[in-house]
Structure 1
């Protein structure tokens, strides 16, 4: 059987979200694979997930009384947008997101590989401590020579650190966590409480104008969801905390279109302010480790009681089920643990028995998850307008990975190249920001009548007051 086309992938996502087929309007999906050098169908995944979000925006706007309009997503533009944090200039110099100097892959004493994610200072410090003070790449490599890969992965997890051992697809499928998530769909939308139908806001100049999104996310996937909703006019208020580490390199890209405030949920005052904001929110988006936000009193059930009709949208690394349900993780770690790095290396010609990890050409699980979160959020908003209820939307990086696996492989995928920034031309835009003048990618999800754009510049975290900008 032939691998599904981008249109077929889009239609399947639409059905998964519980949306009627006749609500999927006209969608143009030009372009051909491979879009980036990979044996996996990253171009099709990018095009379909962004198209699902864009088509849902068009349908929401139509239901508010706006005109029907074509959604258009060009594959190459979508694929490079899956690498948006790389295509970024500040002050005329290309300054994409950077990695910590000891992050990456290492061979352990048993010949297997592990990947360390040490971009957050406390994760780096924990790994250095676990390795008896090894703090350079050379010292880390030497120290890991005394470990077995799976033993180090487990020790790091018990210490709350971010490490994964490389597995093949077969090894992941046999692992208890692989088995626990094997049947999970890439997107889960469920009604979690009763509430009368919530009418969509009156028609405005932009499709999502009048909708409020609380964005409690970090790194890439969750922030991409908020950035996408902001691109179509939603009032997105990002909430961070001064005591939590962040990646400013990523905020420059993913903070476009948002306002950003700081709240300390360890304090009663911070929690009360967040409750006040949640009472006026349409969407509560969060991407912290499962249970972390709930521990402060903001579980989906709490939010549904506080604000009947709310849409609670959540991201996890490995899903909420199985032995790794609460484990910390990032795209690169999930790629390594769940078989992608091994499969990609073998596809590129490596010996399956001794393949060094080969990463995907972008953080594809992060970005695809971000757009699935945005699509699921919009689908839930459409459904609450018709059906009523409070809703929960869930996406996991590992679930997105399983979905990507299911799209098929490309025999000639490595003939594509990663384009240089100066080759991207019209898909780039310049703007002022709180970080100086930047050049960054435009959004690839285009609508004929209401073009996507970011009305607000990215600014340093905590710049604004914790209050909504638009009246409800």
Structure 2
């Protein structure tokens, strides 16, 4: 399956087909492409619109079945709205102040000896294990974390993090992902 030219409606239809849901329901779906709003090489816009469209259409299908009504309500998902939903945690204020970063003080993108990793520390155990792997205490600064990251190769750090319960992922080129075992397992997936 060549997914290079897939649109969100192609992804919805492919997943809908995999789930063996009522094909006619797709006629009730209207996707609006109002331009790129989450620029990324990972097609975040596509993913956002596809996920929300699938959820909304499944809810419409469920409602139709529950009411024993053959007419499935229309579902419209503008791309821009889907993108806003995907980054909504960055768009609200608490008591007039921007919400704190979900990355915290040490999470996010870090340079390594041979590339980059992205560290998630949304849970205390992720932060604890990452600091343990790096040989740092609980009050380590972003600068200290960054300095220790430079001592590691990206994939080696990712493997150690996986083994020890931290959440650190190596950033890979498209060629590296294509050669990765996970890429081979999802060759025929719609997204």
Q: Fold conserved (TM > 0.5)?
A: yes
Equivalent-residue separation in structure 1 for 2:158 and 2:8 (angstroms): 36
Q: Which runs of 5+ in 1 are unaligned?
A: 187-402, 404-472
- CA distance change for structure 1 residues 147 and 5 in 2, over 3 Å: closer, same or farther? closer
Equivalent-residue separation in structure 1 for 2:129 and 2:58 (angstroms): 43
Equivalent-residue separation in structure 2 for 1:81 and 1:144 (angstroms): 32
Q: Does 1:118 align with 2:116?
A: no
**Higher helix content, 1 or 2:** 2
Equivalent residue number for residue 14 of structure 2:
12
TM-score (norm 2): 0.80
Equivalent-residue separation in structure 2 for 1:117 and 1:183 (angstroms): 27
Equivalent residue number for residue 94 of structure 2:
90
Superposition deviation, residue 114 in structure 1: 2.3
Select the residue among 136, 143, 148 that pairs with 1:133.
Answer: 136
Superposition deviation, residue 36 in structure 1: 2.6
Q: Which runs of 5+ in 2 are unaligned?
A: none
Equivalent-residue separation in structure 1 for 2:117 and 2:177 (angstroms): 14
Superposition deviation, residue 40 in structure 1: 4.6
Equivalent-residue separation in structure 2 for 1:85 and 1:30 (angstroms): 23
Is the CA contact 1:116–1:164 (under 8 Å) kept in the aligned structure 2?
yes
Show the 5 A alignment for 1:241-390: none
3-state DSSP class of the match of 1:85?
A: helix
- Aligned pair count reads 185
Equivalent residue number for residue 147 of structure 2:
142
Equivalent residue number for residue 177 of structure 2:
172
Equivalent-residue separation in structure 1 for 2:122 and 2:33 (angstroms): 35
Is the CA contact 2:34–2:78 (under 8 Å) kept in the aligned structure 1?
no
Equivalent-residue separation in structure 2 for 1:112 and 1:185 (angstroms): 28
Q: Does 1:155 align with 2:157?
A: no
Is the CA contact 2:125–2:165 (under 8 Å) kept in the aligned structure 1?
no
Higher relative contact order (CA 8 A, sep 6+): 1
Structure 1 runs of 4+ aligned residues shifted over 4 Å read none
Equivalent-residue separation in structure 2 for 1:23 and 1:97 (angstroms): 39
TM-score (norm 1): 0.36
Superposition deviation, residue 75 in structure 1: 1.7
Superposition deviation, residue 155 in structure 1: 2.3
Show the 5 A alignment for 1:170-249: 170-179=175-184, 181-183=185-187, 185=189
CA RMSD in angstroms, aligned pairs only? 2.7
Equivalent-residue separation in structure 1 for 2:133 and 2:189 (angstroms): 36
Select the residue among 66, 69, 75 that pairs with 1:71.
Answer: 75
- CA distance change for structure 1 residues 51 and 145 in 2, over 3 Å: closer, same or farther? closer
Is the CA contact 1:131–1:144 (under 8 Å) kept in the aligned structure 2?
yes
- CA distance change for structure 1 residues 105 and 78 in 2, over 3 Å: closer, same or farther? closer
Superposition deviation, residue 184 in structure 1: 6.0
Equivalent-residue separation in structure 2 for 1:88 and 1:46 (angstroms): 19
Superposition deviation, residue 39 in structure 1: 4.3
Equivalent-residue separation in structure 2 for 1:8 and 1:175 (angstroms): 25
